[in-house]
Amino acid sequence: MSPPGSLQFCVRLLRRQLVLAVRRPIEIGNPLLFFAMVVALFPLGLGPAPDQLAGFAPGILWIIALLSNLLTSDAVFRSDFEDGSLEQLLLAPQPLFISVLAYIGAHWLITGLLLALVSPVFALMLNLPGSAVGTLVLSLLLGSGVLSLVGCIGAALTVGLKRGGMLISLLVLPLYMPVLIFGSAAVKAAVTGAAAGPYLAILGAMLCLAIALSPLAIAAGLRISIDA
């Protein structure tokens, strides 16, 4: 029997990752809970002035999305490393470039996509104008993809370390900055009625670049982590 093609294998891996995630619902719920908690804390800390909150809302929402992504990306390869599945993945005949896309895809689906979909509720809590909600969702959809791709580079490099969490932050936070800047700028533009399109286009371009390059870095990082 010949081994499956790389795309077929990628789909199989994606399905496996999603089934694993669904069987540990706490890992899906955690980022959402984190998002809800922090959003609920901001009005208490900043004072319940609706106008003021609306001004800060784009930045607040984007920073929380970024942090919740950072918190979860640490675990993408962790359990597969610990039980030996990662070694087997590295020995698979299919190219690692395609295979890791399944891991990233699964991570994005259960964090980025979910956050983007529920973000209108949180936007409402922070009094973000209704006209900017569409842009918020769109910018989170694009931006969280970049965050997942970049976060997985850090995860791949630190998966062999006992306490990789802090190191991940140091490694990937600088790469998160452009996403944060353009993501929140898109939402701010939408709030003031300016065109958000250019910012979204730049986020899209970052996403394309990240899809093309980060699997290379992730594959190399995983090989180094397994070798050590």
Partner 1 sequence: MGHVSAPLLAAHAISLERGGRELFQDLSFEVLPGHLLQIEGPNGAGKTSLIRILAGLSRYGFDGRVSRYTALLYLGHQSGVKALLTPRENLAWHVAGEGQYSDEQIETALAKVGLYGFEDVPSHALSAGQHRRVNLARLYLSQCPLWLLDEPFTAIDKTGVLELEALLVRHVEAGGAVVMTSHQALQVTYEVRYLSLVEGLIL
Residues that bind partner 1 (CB under 8 A): 1-4, 8-9, 12-13, 15-16, 19-20, 23-24, 79-80, 82-94, 99, 223, 226-227
Supply the minimum distance, in Å, between the C-beta of residue 20 and partner 1: 5
- In terms of CB distance, is 51 or 227 closer to partner 1? 227
Question: CA 59, CA 126: separation in Å to the nearest integer?
Answer: 11
Supply the minimum distance, in Å, between the C-beta of residue 155 and partner 1: 16
Supply the minimum distance, in Å, between the C-beta of residue 12 and partner 1: 6
- In terms of CB distance, is 24 or 37 closer to partner 1? 24
Supply the minimum distance, in Å, between the C-beta of residue 50 and partner 1: 44
- In terms of CB distance, is 16 or 36 closer to partner 1? 16
Q: Are 31 and 71 spatial neighbours (Cβ–Cβ below 8 Å)?
A: yes
Supply the minimum distance, in Å, between the C-beta of residue 211 and partner 1: 21
Phi, psi (5° rounding) for residue 19? -65, -45
CA angle 216, 138, 190 (to 5 degrees): 130
Phi, psi (5° rounding) for residue 200? -65, -35
Instruction: Region of 127 please: left (phi>0), alpha (psi -120 to 50) or beta.
Output: left
Phi, psi (5° rounding) for residue 39? -60, -40
Closest residue by Cα to residue 137 from 124, 111, 118: 118
- In terms of CB distance, is 96 or 210 closer to partner 1? 96
- In terms of CB distance, is 4 or 129 closer to partner 1? 4
Place of tokens 């394309």: 208
